[in-house]
Structure 1
């Protein structure tokens, strides 16, 4: 028994992510067939000293292009919201990397802040996320340090939709048009009308057009977009454990058509968090004064809501979930 106990302890130590003194970071370009290359950011544990560096409108403390530490490291891939980019959840990526995870986030071509050419071509997103996983396992310079059996996915808004599809979900985009006919004042429908986008676009996507990735073993979803488009049948093949987050005051994706629709129809009950007094964009990192002036609709929280304090707890809960589910 003593020998078996020692073996169990050693195996647990091998499987556990290494705690990192600091975080390495790099930006990469990923070939994507006939499509334009994808841009991705990668955070990973390192012992190299980190210093402040600009990342878009934010500053992150990282060691660029530093050597990685650890073996058999778990991987978490990230999918941003509509009109976002790979750095949109950098604080969560940093928290995961400090805990010993490798994190890779992709900018979804056609749905970024500087490229809205494929807003409703939602089927492109899961395919791009799968290409990111392929790159990390097959081409990334530190690929041999990864454990291919421990891969998780994190997604916010359109990214939540993306990782849900990756985990096996099959949406029916023909639901968007009747939804908007019934709720023309909802943000999604008003935004499509303002942009001149036909809500019928993409309604004829075949089920085979949605790319799944069985390598993804655990999923965190915050404020998922298009929740009403799945239904029980569309979520019947989702088996990975899910941590689901809803902002109680989400006026962009009003209750109960998004998060609640997914929670109710998942075949396995998710770990469900409802954040009091939070709005849709409170899942994004806190803004500095300059960004708050430029993007008040994204940066401003409701009175009394402390976004910085929330993110400390949010990031800790996300790390804890992946640690428990990717053992």
Structure 2
């Protein structure tokens, strides 16, 4: 799990809006909020898309005292025609909204509509336990909403839909490709050599992972509308049933870290899924680049300064690897038929 910044003072810092200056970016951004979706906890989406230049209000999305923002044009006019869609779920149980703004913008520049999906994130370990199965359900409901929305349904090519996820979002993405978690392996995870980073959080609240809803955990989440899935450093990779991933109903690619993920070799060998390591990457490198004072602010407010341990150049290099790899994969997996 990627650590969330805590404390009211820090939350106020992170809520600071930012505005871009200079030329138009050609990347538009809009929001969709449905408070009654996803089992009543709501679904919100930040939607990125190729935009016509010269319109919209310049903005730095996700900008705050810790992270640099991503430039976009708020409510700019979309480019004409139907485009492929990527649903994006970034980070673990407590990641903030727009954590994946930088990746969404890069994909939008490449010709994709990207909906970064953010449900109401759990604030305590008791409500977090079900996030492993709520996240894929949330993605499916987000797709329903987009394809039934009068403004977006005419812009989305329903035959070219992909899901991209980071950390627990990557787990959810693999579930939409047909992947299923082994219940017994999930329950044992906190007692293995590769425990989830949430295990300490669960233990602090007296939460036993064995109390997860077994039916919801093991319910097949395969969505036949999804043609391609890319999972970035997915959590619980070692707990997936490899028989559920081979053969794949959708094209799947896993992007790993500089060091191999637990279960990575087994999944690759038994399913044929390609695993692409990202040189120099650690889990925090999938966040935006940090401001010069980001690490200091995190330490002062009780956050994890490791979130900003990478230099701007190091993080940029990881971002470039992932964005280039994602565009290559999606371009092949969602190619129009000849």
Q: Which of the five TM-score ranges fits, normalised by the shorter chain?
A: 0.7 to 0.9
1:223-234 equivalence runs, <5 A: 223-234=233-244
1:53 and 2:60 are equivalent in the alignment: yes
Give the Cα separation in 1 of the matches to 2:287 and 2:266.
Answer: 22
1:316 and 2:324 are equivalent in the alignment: yes
Provide closer, same or farther for how the CA distance between residues 85 and 140 of structure 1 changes in structure 2, counting only shifts above 3 A.
farther
Provide closer, same or farther for how the CA distance between residues 236 and 201 of structure 1 changes in structure 2, counting only shifts above 3 A.
farther
Aligned pair count reads 298
> Alignment partner for residue 40 of structure 1, among 45, 48, 60?
45
Q: CA deviation at 1:241?
A: 1.5
Q: CA deviation at 1:88?
A: 1.2
TM-score, normalised by the number of residues in structure 1: 0.82
Q: CA deviation at 1:213?
A: 0.9
Q: CA deviation at 1:205?
A: 2.4
TM-score, normalised by the number of residues in structure 2: 0.79
* Ranges in structure 1 where 5+ consecutive residues have no aligned partner: 1-19, 250-254
Q: CA deviation at 1:218?
A: 0.8
The equivalent of 1:288 in structure 2 is 291
Instruction: Choose 101-110 or 177-186, whichever is displaced more.
Output: 177-186
The equivalent of 1:263 in structure 2 is 268
Greater relative CO, 1 or 2 (CA 8 Å, sep 6+): 2
- Contact 1:110/1:118, CA 8 A, preserved across alignment: no
Instruction: Choose 95-104 or 43-52, whichever is displaced more.
Output: 43-52
1:22 and 2:26 are equivalent in the alignment: yes
SS in 2 for 1:260: helix
What is the CA RMSD across the aligned residues, in angstroms? Answer: 2.6
1:14-163 equivalence runs, <5 A: 22-30=26-34, 31-32=36-37, 34-49=39-54, 51-57=58-64, 58-82=68-92, 83-111=94-122, 118-121=127-130, 122-139=132-149, 141-163=151-173
Give the Cα separation in 2 of the matches to 1:185 and 1:126.
Answer: 21
SS in 1 for 2:72: strand
Instruction: Choose 79-88 or 184-193, whichever is displaced more.
Output: 184-193
Higher strand share: 1
The equivalent of 1:3 in structure 2 is none
The equivalent of 1:213 in structure 2 is 223
Give the Cα separation in 1 of the matches to 2:171 and 2:69.
Answer: 28
SS in 2 for 1:144: coil
Q: CA deviation at 1:79?
A: 1.0
SS in 1 for 2:78: coil
